[in-house]
Homo-oligomer: A and B are copies of this chain.
Amino acid sequence: MSDTREQILEQIKVQGDLVRQLKAAKESKEKTAPSGGGRVSSSGAPAQRQQQQQPQKQQQAQEQQQHEQLHQIDEEVARLLALKATLGGDAAPTNLKFTLKTPKGTRDYGPQQMTLRQGVLDKIVQVFKRHGGEAIDTPVFELKEVLTGKYGEDSKLIYDLKDQGGEILSMRYDLTVPLARYLAMNKISSIKRYHIAKVYRRDNPAMTKGRYREFYQCDFDIAGTYDPMLPDAECVKIVSEILDTLDIGDYVIKLNHRQLLDGMFQACGVPADSFRTICSAVDKLDKSPWADVRKEMVDEKGLDEAAADRIGEYVRLSGGAELVEQLLADEKLKAVPNAVKGLEGMKQLLKYCSIFGLDKRVSFDLSLARGLDYYTGVIYEGVLKGESATVASPAKTSQQNGEQANEPATVGSVAGGGRYDNLVGMFDPRGKAVPCVGVSIGVERIFSVLEARAAASGLKLRTSDVEVYVASAHKGLHEQRLKVLNLLWDAGVKAEHSYKLNPKLLVQLQHCEEHQIPLVVVLGDAELAQGLVKLREVTTREETNVKLKDLVAEIRRRQQSSA
């Protein structure tokens, strides 16, 4: 620290120029390099596919060069930072060298959004607790190995942390795998837990539709060895209670069963080792027409055309208990034990759903497949219908997701889940399984629906709970204000003031109207001399003198009568 501030500032300038030069050189090289080269995926699979055309040697040399370049940039940036650090808090930059933004696919939540969100989350937690849920929390990152091999193709979307010496870490991709890790690690064989937290997916964000790279998940899961369909039906009930309490419009909960899907694939002549990949294709039916899905099955996944057509017959079916009976009588299906087991499960589930008053809410739907690999039994998805869904995605364009423009807008999956009996066993050294079933509420989409609705209504949510504003009628009263504020705070009253020594009365009253603060205590020398203050109702502008010693009681009285 023997250099003067001016010398350091000069060094920062020189070093900053060097870093910018290096970065510019790297960028210009990348622009001329083949398209795949600039973005090497660490998860391997998709990147390898892209780069098969390139001879491997050349590719490695290129990567090596990039690596060295990045390393050099890192080093010079580190020197720059070290220089800046020596200046500490005084280093106000002359001008900002980068765009001020949040990372791609993320956003800040301001007070308005937080108020809406907190309201939604509170209602969801209320439902979770009504069903005996206990809260847990896990770290935002996990050892990379914990996430490895759990998400199939989507593994490429996992955020990795930089290796800074120590463990190799990745950001959590969902709350289900961390739950499984938690259960196996602590040898917990039964729990009913909820977990509300952010998860991370390096996906292409579609923010207007409520799809982000950082987003909340609200999960409820029942782990333990129980009798068939009893916990499963309760999860469906939970979805309906949540969608009812949030009052976001008409919805349907689609139900299906992985065993039935597998049995159906078998009955249609799909080879056993293609079940999962054909299942992934079926999963796209909510966004793509059958013709496209069939094409994917036949052209990309090599499925026999006749088999695809047989699947096509089944996946257009949906209904209730009568459909189960119809399928139990189906010649092809009844020959396949998996299909029969799945159908018997569905029968039981529909029975319990009926007891829970959900006949009108659930639909047994053979096109429901769900993306994730780890499901082993019941699967379900809560979907907004018609108008509710269109509110959900105002910016939705039908071209984007390959839908026909005149098809009914049944987008908007807002909840989903299912049974996954083998996931916990993947973490147990001896493979000990803990059967689980759970549901994840798609709160971001729900927020989008409600935000759009709030914006349309023009209503402004109150973002603070202030009950009383303490104002001065004239100059010189700031200490008196502090005394009254202290009295109110100590009594638990939510109160604030202007933080100004001598604020104008009008400005103070305007603040209350803008922020919908219901009551104002106005201080003035004349009243204070008599031990009095003015209590003013903001909406009616009515004012009453109140004894200072009765102030808290009077405020509480008014709050109760207006509640």
Residue contact B489 to A241, C-beta cutoff 8 Å = yes
Contact with B along A181-192 (1 / 0, CB 8 A): 110111000011
Chain B residue contacts of A171, Cβ below 8 A: 161
Q: Does A310 contact B (CB under 8 A)?
A: no
Tell me if B42 and A88 are in contact (CB < 8 A).
no
| Most chain B beta-carbon contacts within 10 A, residue among A4, A74, A92, A164 | A164
Is A38 in contact with B165, judged by CB distance below 8 angstroms? yes
Check if B42 sits within 8 Å of A85, measured CB to CB. no
**Cβ-based interface call for A274 (8 A):** yes
What separation, in Å, do the CA atoms of A351 and B90 have in the docked complex?
30
Contact: B81 with A155, CB < 8 Å?
yes
A135 CB within 8 Å of chain B: yes
A464 close to B44 (CB less than 8 A): no
Kindly list chain B residues whose C-beta atoms are within 8 Å of the C-beta of A48. Answer: 82
Of the stretches A289-297, A379-387, A495-503, the one at the interface is A495-503
A273 on interface, CB distance cutoff 8 Å = yes
Residues of B contacting A191 with CB < 8 Å? 111
Instruction: Tell me the number of copies of this protein.
Output: 2
Which one, A392-400, A404-412, A442-450, A475-483, is touching chain B? A475-483
A40 partner residues in chain B, CB cutoff 8 A: 165
Q: Which of A317-325, A327-335, A337-345, A369-377 contacts B (4 or more CB under 8 A)?
A: A369-377
Is the CB–CB distance between B102 and A148 below 8 Å? no
Q: How many residues of A contact B (CB 8 A)?
A: 155
- Per-position 1/0 for A80-116, Cβ under 8 A of B: 0110111111111111111011111011111100110
**Complex-state Cα separation, A426 to B90, whole angstroms:** 9
Closest chain B CB from A245 CB (angstroms): 10
A452 at the interface (CB under 8 A from B): no
Q: Does A427 contact B (CB under 8 A)?
A: yes
For residue A137, CB closer than 8 A to chain B, the reply is: yes
> Are B276 and A88 touching (Cβ within 8 A)?
yes
In the assembled complex, the CB of A46 is this many whole angstroms from the nearest CB of chain B, namely 9
**C-beta contact mask, A470-496 vs B, less than 8 Å → 1, else 0?**
000000001100110010011011111
Interface residue? A454 (CB, 8 A): no
Stretch at the interface among A221-229, A520-528, A549-557: A221-229
Q: Closest Cβ of chain B: how far from A157's Cβ, in Å?
A: 10
Contact status of A494 and B226, CB under 8 A, knowing A4-B273, A164-B42: no
Among residues of B, the one whose C-beta sits closest to the C-beta of A82 is: B44
Kindly provide the distance from the CB of A238 to the nearest chain B CB, expressed in whole angstroms: 9
How far apart are the CA atoms of A23 and B428 in the complex, in Å?
A: 23
Scoring A68, A86, A95 by chain B CB atoms within 10 A of each residue's CB, the highest score goes to A86
Contacts of A169 in B (CB 8 A): 103
Indicate if the CB atoms of B130 and A492 lie closer than 8 Å: yes
Please, how many angstroms separate the alpha-carbon atoms of A413 and B284 in the complex? 54
Chain B residue contacts of A110, Cβ below 8 A = 136, 186
Contact of A149 with B237 at beta-carbon distance under 8 Å, contacts A41-B164, A226-B500 already known: no
Check: A45 CB closer than 8 A to any chain B CB: yes
> Could you tell me if A130 and B374 are in contact, using CB atoms closer than 8 angstroms?
no
Q: Which of A246-254, A352-360, A533-541 contacts B (4 or more CB under 8 A)?
A: A352-360
C-alpha gap A234/B488 in the complex (Å): 13
Is A67's beta carbon under 8 Å from chain B? Answer: yes
A43's partner among B82, B106, B118, B465 (CB-CB below 8 A) is B82
Given A429-B96, A500-B226, CB of A422 within 8 Å of CB of B1: no
**How far, in whole Å, are A216 and B143 apart by their CA atoms in the complex?**
20
A162 within 8 A of B: yes
Task: Return the 5 tightest CB-CB contacts between A and B, nearest first.
Answer: A89-B373, A44-B82, A39-B165, A44-B78, A226-B499
Can you give 26 contacting A-B residue pairs, CB < 8 Å? A1-B274, A1-B277, A39-B165, A44-B81, A63-B71, A64-B71, A70-B163, A88-B276, A90-B422, A95-B431, A107-B139, A110-B186, A130-B492, A130-B494, A131-B495, A140-B140, A140-B198, A159-B164, A160-B164, A164-B202, A226-B498, A226-B499, A230-B500, A351-B479, A352-B482, A356-B482
